[in-house]
Structure 1
Amino acid sequence: MAQNQSEDTGAAPDARPPAKRRIDGIDAARALAVFGMFAVHLGVVSFGLLPEEQGWELHSLVRGNSSALFAFLAGVSLALMTGRTQPVEGDSLRRAGVRILARALLIGLLGFVLDAFAVPVAIILTYYAGFFVLALPLLRARAALLWTAAGILALLGPVVSFLLRQDLFPGGLRTAALTSFTEFFLTGYYPAITFMAFVIAGMAVGRTDLTATAVRIRMAVGGVLMATTGYLGSWLLLNPLGGWDRLTEAHVLNGGSLDSVDPGTAEEARYAATDAAHSISGQVPTDSWWWLAVNTPHTGTTFEIFEAVGQALVVLVVCMLLAERLPRLMYPLTSVGRMPLTVYSGHILVLAVIVALHPQNAAGGPWYLEMFILGSFVFACLWRWAVGRGPFELLLGNFADGAVSVVESARADRERGRGTG
């Protein structure tokens, strides 16, 4: 039976610091993020246990929040790979950078391969790889600086994005999950200008002592406050201060006034504006500044970022507590969370088969979500028991280790050359 492995610190095999106990709660939270994306990709029609009304409520809860949690936990993992509370420096930092770049390269290539299957899903892996690269300059930063950077990006990123897309980079027709640098930074499904706030916030959390009770209490309280701020701030602007009416006039009535239409038409227009806000996939329209007041999923506004990060903090704290107190019960969830790349990629490949066999019914039917989750549990538990690391994770780790060996060998050769020159 394979043994549990500690978190990869990003150091070379011969220069690793003493192994630290793996935090299973992070794996459990990562599994929830992956399952949330399952639910979004398969749609409400795939839910078997829940009636339609509750199914839509679950879909609304996980849409956007699951991808945000996935990015947040990527930041946590980056911090754990690079020293946890004490950022690595010197040779260890260089090796960590090489290892992260190698991982980003392979993850990005995998994302493009999965996208080629033309499954009706916005593949996050290509963006995920880019986030790793953008995070490299912050590997030496400590929690306070990282929280500051995340806060600045959450406040200014949506505004900068709005201005740039309004005047210079309007979004075009999307033919794949990611086709250009403009999509990656601004106009895509997971634009870096706002999604990096999740990654950096996760890095800040990973730079704290996640085993300390005081840290967990601060995370839980801070998470509740952030989520509440995101929700109430948006509600205040959109309802008592009239934001929904202004959006309706700008987006639905093309600048016309609600007072100029009959009450029935006005109500339909307001519903259309609300529906438009819940249908956004990546960034808000630029026909009204009031769009920056919404907090619906995939809008990339300050309020959505605050709410999503707050929820991620609470989810992580709860998962850590449950994983420690109920390890056997949480074993299936932590097993999936130890091989998220394998499980995520596997569900895309299965979806590709379903689409090929039933192109008019890509989501299958009732109970498909439950079957995907159960299949993930069975595979992950058996693989973890028999092998340990997931197959894609094992490949990724070996590729990263090989990249470090190549770079270190080249560096040693250069130093020997200088010494004999």
Structure 2
Amino acid sequence: MAENRTGADAPKRPARARIDGIDAARALAVLGMFVVHVSADSFGLLDPDGAGRAVHDLVRGNSSALFAFLAGLSLALMTGRTRPLSGEPLRLVVVKVLTRALVLGLLGLVLDVLAAPVAVILAYYAGFFVLALPLVKLGAGALVRAAAGLAAVGPPLSFLLRQDLVSPRTPQGALSSLPEFLLTGYYPAITFMVYVFAGMAVGRLDLGAAATRVRLLVTGAVLTAFGYAGSWIALHVFGGLDRLAQESVSSLGYPAVITEDPQLRENLHEQVMDEAYSISGQVPTDSWWWLAVGTPHTGTHFEMAESVGQALLVLVVCLWLAERARILMYPLTSVGRMPLTIYAGHLFVLAVVVAALGPMDWYTPWLLESLVLGAVVFAVLWRLLLGRGPLERFLGLCADNFALLYQENRRDRYGPSAS
């Protein structure tokens, strides 16, 4: 009879070292959120109306998508990397993940009480972990199909559900309902689980192999090009922008023929794109042509392709740099080793700044640079002196204690062989 090697009697796999490139990518995701949260008006080094605005537009949406992508990748690493766990080892990891999700959700609610002018992602993040758990036994191919399938059906399904079943509303503060988590919030699961599944698929690959990295690089470039070019073609070649402009004038009671004036058409096009860039979560449901835009936080096919593609490019570049310039990348990997601490810390600082300067005047120049410099210095010093970040240490302690309670409970119920 073949020996069962999936339970507690199976030899433990040797612990593997952290992958610095993943930490570096995680740091870029967190620091990218700094950029988005303080806006281009808080740049000092870059012109807020020039390069600062370009940087802000580049990272908006992509930083939160990268954060979710890396959450999926981390979950894959926790559950066996290239060989998914099963049996008792997997159950222990599930207990730890659920514990982490609970603590993250509670921390997200606490941070929201600080009233920093930021859409806190942690409560969503906790829910993403829970939704991903049923797929942790899948391999890379199945996870790619899950991500692609949700990316294909998610945007039209969300459009139909929000059009017929959910009253449109602008998200306010903390996550407050299941429909908001799934469909209408700042980080709706129907969009962001695509990033999580894609990250899990990548985490099931051998990231140390050159061939894997080349495939990821090519895939990232193709997806990015498809996202940007596909949206542009749909809007400018196939008339999507004109249709949205017509919808806008018709909704105001003007005849659609008004858009035949070239100058007025150009102005309407600008208004449509301004509205597209102001979306925070999902596109409006008054026209199917909104699914042709690819601007941040729209949850369209094109936006998801851009975000996943750029996440792959960032990951591969960070993996390459972290191996060849370890000392140079040390500040970045230090931030990436304690993303929860750095994320929560910057929200606390923002809350203090807003309280001190007022809700209208806190966008002060050099605020971004001060936040980034403070985060990097703190992360480097803490890593050198104390190692693991404070909130990461607390989160790990909670997860380990709950896993221990789970093991003790199983031993009490089923005997020593259960553990």
TM-score by length of 1: 0.94
Matching of residue 103 in structure 1 with residue 116 in structure 2:
no
Asked if the contact 2:147–2:194 (Cα under 8 Å) also holds between the matched residues in 1, the reply is yes
Deviates more, 1:357-366 or 1:90-99: 357-366
Structure 2 CA distance for aligned equivalents of residues 281 and 107 of structure 1: 22
Structure 1 CA distance for aligned equivalents of residues 248 and 52 of structure 2: 29
Structure 2 CA distance for aligned equivalents of residues 27 and 38 of structure 1: 17
Match in the other structure for 1:6: none
Asked if the contact 2:249–2:256 (Cα under 8 Å) also holds between the matched residues in 1, the reply is no
AA matched with 1:269:
L
Instruction: Decide which of 13, 37, 44 is 2:40's aligned counterpart.
Output: 44
Q: Say if 1:16 and 1:349 are closer, same or farther in 2 by CA, change over 3 A.
A: farther
Structure 1 CA distance for aligned equivalents of residues 274 and 149 of structure 2: 29
Q: Say if 1:15 and 1:413 are closer, same or farther in 2 by CA, change over 3 A.
A: farther
Match in the other structure for 1:196: 193
AA matched with 1:68:
A
Structure 1: give runs of 5+ residues left out of the alignment: 1-10
Q: 1:252 offset after TM fit, Å?
A: 4.6
Structure 2 CA distance for aligned equivalents of residues 201 and 155 of structure 1: 13
Q: Following superposition of structure 1 onto structure 2, how do residues 21-420 of structure 1 map, counting pairs within 5 Å? A: 21-51=17-47, 52-254=49-251, 257-261=255-259, 262-361=261-360, 363-416=362-415
Q: 1:232 offset after TM fit, Å?
A: 1.3
Classify the secondary structure of the residue corresponding to 1:239. helix
Structure 2 CA distance for aligned equivalents of residues 347 and 303 of structure 1: 31
Classify the secondary structure of the residue corresponding to 2:50. helix
Deviates more, 1:169-178 or 1:303-312: 169-178
Structure 2 CA distance for aligned equivalents of residues 275 and 226 of structure 1: 24
Q: 1:231 offset after TM fit, Å?
A: 1.2
Classify the secondary structure of the residue corresponding to 2:81. coil
Q: 1:355 offset after TM fit, Å?
A: 1.2
Asked if the contact 2:162–2:183 (Cα under 8 Å) also holds between the matched residues in 1, the reply is yes
Asked if the contact 1:249–1:258 (Cα under 8 Å) also holds between the matched residues in 2, the reply is yes
Deviates more, 1:151-160 or 1:410-419: 410-419
CA distances 1:292-329 after superposition (whole Å, capped 9, x unpaired): 11100000001100110000000000000000000000
AA matched with 2:171:
R
Q: 1:113 offset after TM fit, Å?
A: 0.4
Q: CA RMSD in A?
A: 1.8
Q: 1:16 offset after TM fit, Å?
A: 4.6
AA matched with 2:226:
T
CA distances 1:183-226 after superposition (whole Å, capped 9, x unpaired): 00000000001110000000000000000000000000000001
Asked if the contact 1:253–1:269 (Cα under 8 Å) also holds between the matched residues in 2, the reply is no
CA distances 1:63-90 after superposition (whole Å, capped 9, x unpaired): 0000000000000100011110000000
Q: 1:358 offset after TM fit, Å?
A: 1.2
Asked if the contact 2:171–2:184 (Cα under 8 Å) also holds between the matched residues in 1, the reply is no
AA matched with 1:280:
I
Asked if the contact 2:171–2:186 (Cα under 8 Å) also holds between the matched residues in 1, the reply is no
Q: 1:104 offset after TM fit, Å?
A: 0.3
CA distances 1:108-163 after superposition (whole Å, capped 9, x unpaired): 10000001111110000010000000000011000000000000111110110000
Asked if the contact 1:250–1:256 (Cα under 8 Å) also holds between the matched residues in 2, the reply is no
Structure 2 CA distance for aligned equivalents of residues 89 and 256 of structure 1: 62
Q: 1:101 offset after TM fit, Å?
A: 0.2
Q: Say if 1:218 and 1:173 are closer, same or farther in 2 by CA, change over 3 A.
A: closer
Structure 2 CA distance for aligned equivalents of residues 258 and 322 of structure 1: 53
Structure 2 CA distance for aligned equivalents of residues 99 and 257 of structure 1: 59
TM-score by length of 2: 0.94
AA matched with 1:73:
L
Structure 2: give runs of 5+ residues left out of the alignment: 1-6
Structure 2 CA distance for aligned equivalents of residues 398 and 306 of structure 1: 37
AA matched with 2:214:
I
AA matched with 2:134:
P
Q: 1:258 offset after TM fit, Å?
A: 4.5
Q: Say if 1:15 and 1:36 are closer, same or farther in 2 by CA, change over 3 A.
A: farther
